[in-house]
Structure 1
């Protein structure tokens, strides 16, 4: 598990961004999180330019980060300054004043849950080859799990212990069985471990302001499915 530290700007994990630089032919990286009720925040940025690229897109409301978040697909621009971008023309113009020549943006998703985004840039043109794309997807998946685990730990630490006790006593044995049953169903749907399946249930409940029991009931009743193809999570 990576180490998290608090700063004046929130929570950051420098190692999370550093992993992308170590494994891929890029010059900078930034990771942002936006899970449901969690206010969007930059988790880490390797340098001022990486942070500025993220900030520009947030301020403008356009750019590849928004495209990747909307489509839930990578946005790979190996020659970002050389072609027109009708979906984000203002951000494209802003890029012309930077040394950025290529952008590679990957959504951080777990099943149908949107966790955040990772933005990578290079000061030279060129596409990521198949091996590098595969590495980026693996790192993005690891980052998504890392972010979810941290956010849930923060939430639990901030939750009043008395409220937790009251909630636990109010839950019936049936609801516990539903949670176990739902965990097994998510395990199969996502091909993950029981621990990660329960983490997904907790994360979905957290991001939608519901209890784990309520989410488990939806899964068991097949109103909710955890898979990349599922809609509406």
Structure 2
């Protein structure tokens, strides 16, 4: 465990401060049977680390990249933008298992398309993505979003990594109390954000059959349509699953009335 967990701040260790913040968020939440735990943990992260936003996601073999929760609508939007573009610091943290630090100039240099939409659609100008251990659901990542790009360098790395371990531990502890079991996974794996992302994979499956293409190609079609229309992949997928869009619309051949 990172050594700064033992450091006292205002008479409390970092772990105690996080536990208190998480407890306060849980007390303020409605009875959600554990589905909103990721949102509560990301809001506690924001309070303890004094960042401007946080998002939590996992990468699994069966669900792909799955957002679990976010501290605010803006943080949730930042995740959806990164997924729509298909590249960015969180995806790199998932792939490498290493922390990624990116102020605005780094974002523009390494992921220009993501930087453009992030700056246009959110107040964030810096991102720190931290891989977190989570054998229960797949490779996890905690995204920290910052309005001031200079705050990327000011962030205490050891504190941030320690919070990542605490978030992972809280998710693991919740499994013992989960109403879900077996293949369904823990309750927090069925958070509102995760349920919305599940529609993407249903849409990918439908497109794969219609286009006789593999899942990667079908997802690329969704992303291309989302980019061309200024929408998120999640929004396009929801319309495709509901029937508001048909395959011909998504591949650029508008369907009939």
Q: Report the TM-score when normalising by structure 1.
A: 0.55
Counterparts of residues 110-125 of structure 1 (less than 5 Å): 114-125=138-149
Deviation at 1:142, TM superposition (A): 1.2
Residues 68, 107 of structure 1: 8 Å contact kept = yes
Label 1:116 to 1:69 Cα distance change in 2 as closer, same or farther (>3 A): same
The one of 43, 48, 53 aligned to 2:78: 53
Label 1:57 to 1:82 Cα distance change in 2 as closer, same or farther (>3 A): closer
Which secondary structure state, in structure 1, belongs to the residue aligned with residue 108 of structure 2?
coil
Is 1:142 equivalent to 2:166 in the alignment?
yes
Gaps of 5+ in 1: 161-233
Residues 119, 125 of structure 2: 8 Å contact kept = no
| Distance (whole Å) between structure 1 residues aligned to residue 170 and residue 87 of structure 2 | 27
Gaps of 5+ in 2: 1-18, 184-257
Residues 110, 141 of structure 1: 8 Å contact kept = no
Give the structure with the larger helix fraction.
2
Moved over 6 A (4+): none
| Distance (whole Å) between structure 1 residues aligned to residue 180 and residue 55 of structure 2 | 26
How many residues align? The count is 154
Label 1:29 to 1:55 Cα distance change in 2 as closer, same or farther (>3 A): same
Label 1:75 to 1:46 Cα distance change in 2 as closer, same or farther (>3 A): same
The one of 53, 56, 66 aligned to 2:91: 66
Residues 28, 122 of structure 1: 8 Å contact kept = yes
Measured on the aligned residues, the alpha-carbon RMSD in Å equals 3.3
| Distance (whole Å) between structure 1 residues aligned to residue 64 and residue 32 of structure 2 | 16
Which secondary structure state, in structure 2, belongs to the residue aligned with residue 11 of structure 1?
coil
Residues 81, 118 of structure 2: 8 Å contact kept = no
Deviation at 1:149, TM superposition (A): 3.7
| Distance (whole Å) between structure 2 residues aligned to residue 150 and residue 38 of structure 1 | 20
Label 1:150 to 1:59 Cα distance change in 2 as closer, same or farther (>3 A): farther
